[in-house]
Chain A
């Protein structure tokens, strides 16, 4: 069985996000969104790292024959794909696009790639930390008409029965689902701890193949029903005040905060 994993290149989560100062920039030229991405550290989306790690563990347990990592976007996304290959993915696919990509387009591209590659399992991160959409996994499952196990915190594959058992984190506990393969899984934080890219694996990754596609190759038209109106910084937190008495506190709570 083959596992396909979708990985996304995002601004590293330890980087402080800055909104681009040039608000007047033409909408059609912006690369992805209104935040500064020039000279900013880009990394693999942490949820995607977890997805890839899970696929690799399934393969190492002898339950899968190949792990294919897929990424979409600008040509620099190949760097992220190389990271995936250095972690241990067998080969990569890069769908090169130039404009912004929204979840539905990504889901359509993934469906087209699933038709090419025919994996038994498609694993994605539950969301990307840049747009926070949390939609792609659900959409692609819908498009493929495959069962979906989202926010997985545990994945157990049964090769014999061709089913996968997924624990999901839901409010107040865990929900366990049993899905028939092929299926879509999206990964939550507690699923696993991704490995480091070791030098021998980085070396091996250099010779691994990366196949290029364009949306046209896959017969997917990239369009968006979403218009991005504005990107702004969150309001700055105001400095606190030091009160001198309990009475003053009660007064503030009553009259300013209006909570009592």
Chain B
């Protein structure tokens, strides 16, 4: 995305004499403030290395700012150029989070690394593929929110399925625990070691193997960065069926392993529908080839589904075959205001009916979310001034006929307005305006990080109940925290975020287990799209019955008897001991 955007805007910079239009529009005085340099661009326009220098030269910035900044950069390009930045920020990290990590004990049956192990890995991977560099490891040991930190002493970078297989075979025989790592953009501590697990980093397996223009089927290695796939497909006239804020760093193997959702799910469905095949390396090093490129294949058990969303606990995804939809050029974005939550729901029902096949996103945020974005991100303005409304909805349509789509959307919106479902709204007239609407929705996590400490919950709930939880939480916490609700209304997915000045165990006990119990009571899921990871491994029972969890544990036992693949995650700790 980054590169794509820059390329697209490059053309425009020509017209702007000595300053760019984006400077003008979105970033009014970009020279003096870190806030500007981190955020004043729609979808990250024009970020550059200067930002890093800014950051590193200003150690006096408070921790929250650093977190927010780091997170944002991480979302957009956590690649080699950023390593220096991550290192700089290391000194700020780790607040006690009062979370699970502290309670977990290292499994004593796991071996510890010795020099023979290292020499063996060097033999199979070469010197370059075996990383013991402390700074590098510090980055890989830490998740991007800086909530979880492991103490791994070794990171391996395989270049092929065969190498992954050799690594796992060896680790399994030696009983060395392994954590597979993609872009390390997870939010639940699933992609970092808990103790001294060997990190298997997939970044070098980043080749596109084939693309079939007729069927739109892409086959690639697990380490391909989502954004690179998006760029590749864009040139072919296709898009990825998933899109998410972390696209600049996250890898497709990780997306599949965590069954990532994101912004396009309402239109293209989950990865269970779009992934046509996988190649997976099991804990014992066996390579399971399920890399089909067929839309229909009813021969036996469809085992690939088992590996979608397992968070690396049953195997490492080395290759992916995925169905990609054609890129449609007519995209419209509207930013709407609703006065109550009931109207939001009715609007969703109407949108599904009236916009039908062109509806591609239906996102919602409450006034407190917008407030955060307006206060903490530069270059963002309220699209519907001067009043604040209680709820905002972002609707995106994607279709093939500009005039038809526009008419359809305008007709729908005007009708909704007459019916009183929306109290105000704006329709993007060009791509820049569309980006600035998206920037508000996508900028909420970043704004939250800048606002202070944040407790994040990613819940699936029946749409009609969804916002009740936010309101109950608000009453529960009263003035002690800022409770915001936003998310993918179209998918019944609420992001409940609780923002406080600093982390506080007292607040945490007010939130947990209440939020899980509430979700469970309403038959929701405590993890809609983020996964369980380390954070919620023991909370699985809130969403899954004991019998189901024990079947999961049996499968885990069968495929990974020693429990060495991504230990302490996903399944409750009681099941593995």
Chain A residues at the B interface, C-beta cutoff of 8 Å: 12-17, 39-41, 43-44, 46-47, 79, 83, 86-87, 127, 129, 132, 169, 188-190, 193, 196-200, 202-203
Contact = CB atoms under 8 A, between A and B. Distances in A.
B433 interface: yes
Given A197-B427, A198-B427, 4 more contacts: A87-B429, A199-B414, A199-B425, A203-B414
A193 B15 contact: no
Q: How large is the interface on B (under 10, 10 to 19, 20 to 34, 35 or more residues)?
A: 35 or more
Given A189-B16, A199-B427, A203-B414, A14 B8 contact: yes
A164 to B, nearest CB: 22
B21 interface: yes
Interface of B: 5, 7-9, 11-12, 14-17, 19, 21, 24-25, 329-331, 334-336, 381, 383-384, 402-403, 406, 410, 413-414, 417, 422, 424-433, 435
A196 B428 contact: yes
Contacts of A188: 17
B100 to A, nearest CB: 43
A41 B8 CA distance: 13
Given A40-B329, A132-B15, A196-B383, A14 B435 contact: yes
Contact of B424 (A12, A41, A198): A198
B2 to A, nearest CB: 14
B295 to A, nearest CB: 26
Contacts of A83: 429
A12 B430 contact: yes
A189 B17 CA distance: 9
Contacts of A13: 9, 11-12, 15, 21, 430-432
Given A14-B8, A40-B329, A132-B15, A198 B432 contact: no
A196 B426 contact: yes
A86 B310 CA distance: 50
Contact of A129 (B15, B406, B410, B414): B15
B402 to A, nearest CB: 8
Contacts of B424: 198-200
Contact of B19 (A39, A127, A189, A193): A189
B425 A198 contact: yes
Contacts of B25: 189, 193
Given A127-B15, A189-B16, A193-B25, A15 B422 contact: no
B537 to A, nearest CB: 43
B11 A16 contact: yes
A17 B10 CA distance: 11
B426 A197 contact: yes
Contacts of B7: 16
B324 to A, nearest CB: 18
B432 A44 contact: no
A203 B19 CA distance: 36
A140 to B, nearest CB: 20
Contacts of A87: 429
Contact of B413 (A41, A43, A44, A199): A199
A15 to B, nearest CB: 7
B21 A189 contact: yes
Given A40-B329, A127-B15, A189-B16, A202 B410 contact: yes
A69 to B, nearest CB: 13
Nearest to B336: A199
Contact of A16 (B8, B19, B403): B8
24 contacts: A13-B430, A13-B431, A14-B12, A14-B431, A14-B432, A14-B435, A40-B329, A41-B331, A43-B429, A44-B430, A46-B21, A47-B15, A79-B403, A83-B429, A86-B429, A127-B15, A132-B15, A193-B25, A196-B335, A198-B424, A199-B424, A200-B417, A203-B414, A203-B417
B131 to A, nearest CB: 20
A199 B429 contact: no
Contacts of A44: 429-430
Which one of A40, A200, A202 has the highest number of Cβ atoms from chain B below 10 Å of its Cβ? A202
A15 B8 contact: yes
Contacts of B330: 41
Contacts of A193: 25, 381
A219 B28 CA distance: 45
Contacts of B433: 196
Contact of A43 (B8, B14, B414, B431): B431
Contacts of B16: 189
Which one of B14, B331, B431 has the highest number of Cβ atoms from chain A below 10 Å of its Cβ? B431
Given A39-B329, A127-B15, A189-B16, A196 B8 contact: no
Contacts of A189: 16-17, 19, 21, 24-25
Given A12-B431, A14-B432, A198 B426 contact: yes
A248 B133 CA distance: 29
A40 B431 CA distance: 11
A43 B426 contact: no
Contacts of B384: 196, 198
Contacts of A39: 329
A44 B429 CA distance: 8
Which one of B17, B406, B417 has the highest number of Cβ atoms from chain A below 10 Å of its Cβ? B17
A17 B431 contact: no
A197 to B, nearest CB: 5
Given A198-B424, A199-B417, A202-B410, A43 B430 contact: yes
Contacts of A203: 414, 417
B431 A15 contact: yes
A12 to B, nearest CB: 5
Contacts of A46: 21, 430, 432
Which one of B414, B429, B432 has the highest number of Cβ atoms from chain A below 10 Å of its Cβ? B429
Nearest to A192: B24
Given A13-B432, A189-B24, A129 B427 contact: no
Nearest to B19: A189
Contacts of A169: 17
B236 to A, nearest CB: 14
Contacts of B12: 13-14, 129
B404 to A, nearest CB: 13
Contacts of B381: 193
A193 B27 CA distance: 11
Nearest to B430: A43
Which one of B383, B413, B432 has the highest number of Cβ atoms from chain A below 10 Å of its Cβ? B432
B11 A17 contact: yes
Which one of B15, B24, B330 has the highest number of Cβ atoms from chain A below 10 Å of its Cβ? B15
A14 B15 contact: no
A41 B402 CA distance: 8
A4 B76 CA distance: 43
A129 B20 CA distance: 13
Given A14-B432, A43-B429, A132 B8 contact: no
Contacts of A43: 429-431
Given A15-B431, A196-B429, A197-B427, A132 B14 contact: yes
A16 to B, nearest CB: 5
